Amino acid sequence: MNSTNEDQLLPGPWTFTPETLRTQLLSDTFEPDGNGTPPVLLCDRLEFAYENGSHRNFTPEEQVQNRQNLCRSLFDVLSDPKSQFCEQLDPLFSRIAHCNLPPQDRGMEGVVIADTCKLLKRLPARPLPLPNVPRGISGIHYNGTMSRADRESCLVWSELSVVSHLSVNVIRTALLVIIEGNKAVHVLVKLLDTVADLLSTATQLCASSDTESERHTWFLVRAYLWTSWQRCTMIYFHTLLGSHLFMGFNDANEQALLLKGTSPSPDYTLQDISRHQLATLKPQSMCGWAFELLRSNPVCLASDFRGMFSRYANAFGDGTGRCISNQASSCKGDDSAHCQRFKGMKIENQSAHDESCQGHCDRLIWDEKSYRRCSGARAVTLDDNVDDRHLVYCQASAKTLSVSHVWSHGQGGRPEEGYGFNRCLHRRYISIARSLNCDSYWMDTPCIPENHQLRREAIMNINRVFENSRATVICDRDLMNINATDLTIAVRELILVTILVCDWNIRAWTFLEAFRGRAKTFALCKRNTPVSLRDIIDAVHREGSLDITPLLLTVPHLLPSFHAKEKGFTTGFPYSRGFLIPETAGSILSHRPASRSGDDIVIWSLLLQDEVCHDAESFWRSRQGSVLATSFLMSSAPRLRKPGLRWAPSSPMAKEMRFPTSKTSTRILAFDGSDSDRGSISSEGFTAPWWFFDFVGPYPGSAKLSKFLNVEVNLEDTACRRNLSAIRRTYLKGCIWGALLRPIHASTSRQSTTYRGDSSKTIVAVCGTNLRVQFYMVRAPEDQMERWHWKGLYQWDMSEPLPKFIRAHVLLD
């Protein structure tokens, strides 16, 4: 299953045995009493309770107190040297939920136990360590396998009892997944969020500790909760992947990916833990930008990348980084402009040959007459006439093989004279096409000419080519170094790990190609062996390590598509037709550069529909009358300069930007915004509800003019003045008034959405205006709104409190 027994969680007295699983199953099985079937999982006691036969919700203040009380109870157990730690911790921790598992038929109990054992064995042996493991933790908190001298001299995370122990709630999660299957996804979210809240509470209480002994004990409490949260999260995302594999990927369910964040350690965020893995564990041969694309995905907020790094290093660890020429290590991952995979690398057209070729074959060029005789999308016929140097074309069909590759790997080049296509590559794809029962192949190198009109026509048909083709083969040089003759689980995991960070996966065009052809995708491995990615993903989901399977949620272009008709119902959502919504597509492209200027908009539009938009203005004009999530706009993407569209991104690609309160530059990536309120796009601009704070700008006399015009603006708290002064200087030159915007959370309208990217500061949007409705000396009707101009984003320094925001409808033009 895993590569070694050391990598997996093994049965034992500290973890689980079939008997402990059976005991828990019987304990959590409900007894029918004629009063109906209770929920299979109910998180209570902390947020609500049943008192005197009635249901009572606790107030927010009571909920905070309940969490603190539970954390202090855990603290008391761990601070008592005479207590049996885990035997007493579990009953306390298990109280956060009631489990009502359905009774099992005779004979099924053993199957459930066996399957749960298999699932738990797929967890990593030890969870990812918390930062700053303290020295001097008492020896009674270790498993007993270490000498006293080792305990006192070493920082041994894995031997702590609270870490190696498998909590009841992890066992419950596994049992629930085995019994309920994909249906468990929706009921597990509340349990995970509750554990996240408890961990944050323990971190807050730890920060107020007075003595080293207290800090040690609070570390043990946090380690216990952190370990349980990590393991439950892995099982949850594994189950969510199963749901996507069964039903097909749909971005309308992206909210399921947004687990509540947590604070695992004082002054140490989840992003810090992720960055620490990047700095200390990542193999030097792995591209930093490719890993950054993976690490910044919300699914990977607290992912354990150790298994991924280990598999990659075993296969490619001796190699040097390709990101920067004449340097052994790869790029740092801070910007695509610093990675020579995108910029600065010398690309030699048609430098690649098939591995069976000595490098001396001739080049084939297009037959223009043959190309022009066909209409629509053209494909190359499987003709290998050695006496003719011309490619022959036919119309692409349902029996065409589509090839998705990276130009910088040497297969790039136009079909015209002077470029051409190496004959050995032509023969390679003839052989692969025939092995997959195809009668032609499509590849951009021979099928997209330089001629502007013909190129435009080819791109207009690219969606149909990949959607309708019999198979899509992914061609990347890292994948082509993997021997797939014996497809063990370890080899399958390596193929998937390699795809996650290979050149092919970090490009915009290849994402589009794979997304449209994802129903039948193959990876081209060593000796031109195509292997079905669907089969590989299914096998790894069934048997692979649970630290690997959640990462596959970051590659929707490799997951099966959702076909509503096949599921027995119809839906108007784009995903039912194989498309994405603008927010999901834009967030995916926010750190996937396109090779040509303007291609990013073309690709963005093709992910939403078959019609092509060639510039950003026409893209957003075509969206008039539709809605957009407000938090999607919270990115450093450049904006258009057209009236009514100055809020609209001119490219999905987030640009590096410098903030006035920091000396470093940063990139604010876009996210799909599924957790925020939505606004409407019209010819006038973008109208939406926001958390809103307005203030006078830097224009001389702004305050006096506001008073004269009877324009009411917020009073400024003195604690906010440093941030507001920086905003005025940087964003609002020439503006009489300024405003700050924060997206409103869709489900809890009293809160703002939290930025899910790698930033420890609060992101606010800055707007300005020189025209308020009070200029007309009359009060505006309630449905009339002032126009605000988008100025950019600002990272609010959290050393100062935020000002008081109010809800308001705002028109951005």
On whether both 720 and 774 belong to a single domain, the answer is yes
Tell me whether residue 3 is in a domain.
Answer: no
Whether the pLDDT of residue 637 is over 60: the answer is yes
- The distance of Cα 427 from the centroid of its chain, to the nearest Å, equals 38
On whether both 807 and 775 belong to a single domain, the answer is yes
CA–CA gap between residue 169 and residue 101 (Å, rounded): 13
Q: What is the mean pLDDT of the chain?
A: 86
On whether both 240 and 285 belong to a single domain, the answer is no
What are the tens digits of pLDDT across the range 165-221? 999 999 999 999 999 998 998 889 999 999 999 999 999 999 888 899 999 999 999
* Lookup: tokens for 685: 């601009």
CA separation (Å) from 194 to 63, 273, 423, 439, 722?
A: 11, 21, 60, 55, 36
- The distance of Cα 499 from the centroid of its chain, to the nearest Å, equals 15
- The distance of Cα 385 from the centroid of its chain, to the nearest Å, equals 47
Q: How many domains does the chain have?
A: 4
On whether both 80 and 128 belong to a single domain, the answer is yes
What are the tens digits of pLDDT across the range 434-481? 999 999 999 999 999 989 999 999 999 999 999 999 999 999 999 999
The answer to whether 719 touches 798, Cβ cutoff 8 Å, is no
On whether both 245 and 283 belong to a single domain, the answer is no
Q: How many CA atoms lie within 13 A of 46 on its CB side?
A: 24
Confidence bin at 148 (pLDDT 50/70/90): low
pLDDT at 288: 87
Tell me whether residue 210 is in a domain.
Answer: yes
**The domain boundary residue, chosen from 225, 257, 289:** 257
In 3D, which of 334, 277, 337 has the Cα closest to residue 666?
Answer: 334
On whether both 395 and 430 belong to a single domain, the answer is yes
Comparing 234-238, 664-668, 723-727, which segment has the lowest mean pLDDT? Answer: 664-668
Helix axes 599-606, 508-516, angle to 10 degrees: 20
On whether both 663 and 802 belong to a single domain, the answer is yes
**The domain boundary residue, chosen from 236, 257, 278:** 257
**The domain boundary residue, chosen from 195, 228, 257:** 257
Tell me whether residue 601 is in a domain.
Answer: no
Tell me whether residue 610 is in a domain.
Answer: no
Non-local (6+) Cβ contacts of 595 within 8 A are 407, 507, 509
pLDDT at 334: 72
Give the predicted TM-score (pTM) of the model.
0.91
CA–CA gap between residue 548 and residue 306 (Å, rounded): 10
Residue type, 32: P
CA–CA gap between residue 422 and residue 427 (Å, rounded): 9
pLDDT at 347: 58
Whether the pLDDT of residue 367 is over 50: the answer is yes
Comparing 173-177, 191-195, 295-299, 423-427, which segment has the lowest mean pLDDT? Answer: 295-299
pLDDT at 252: 65
Whether the pLDDT of residue 344 is over 70: the answer is no
Whether the pLDDT of residue 568 is over 60: the answer is no
On whether both 395 and 535 belong to a single domain, the answer is yes
On whether both 374 and 517 belong to a single domain, the answer is yes
Whether the pLDDT of residue 155 is over 70: the answer is no
Tell me whether residue 414 is in a domain.
Answer: yes
Residue type, 708: F
* Across 542-569, average pLDDT: 81
Domain extent, residue 678, equals 623-812
Tell me whether residue 373 is in a domain.
Answer: yes
On whether both 221 and 334 belong to a single domain, the answer is no
CA–CA gap between residue 119 and residue 10 (Å, rounded): 11
On whether both 661 and 701 belong to a single domain, the answer is yes
Tell me whether residue 568 is in a domain.
Answer: no
Tell me whether residue 786 is in a domain.
Answer: yes
Confidence bin at 256 (pLDDT 50/70/90): low
Length reported for the chain: 813
pLDDT at 622: 95
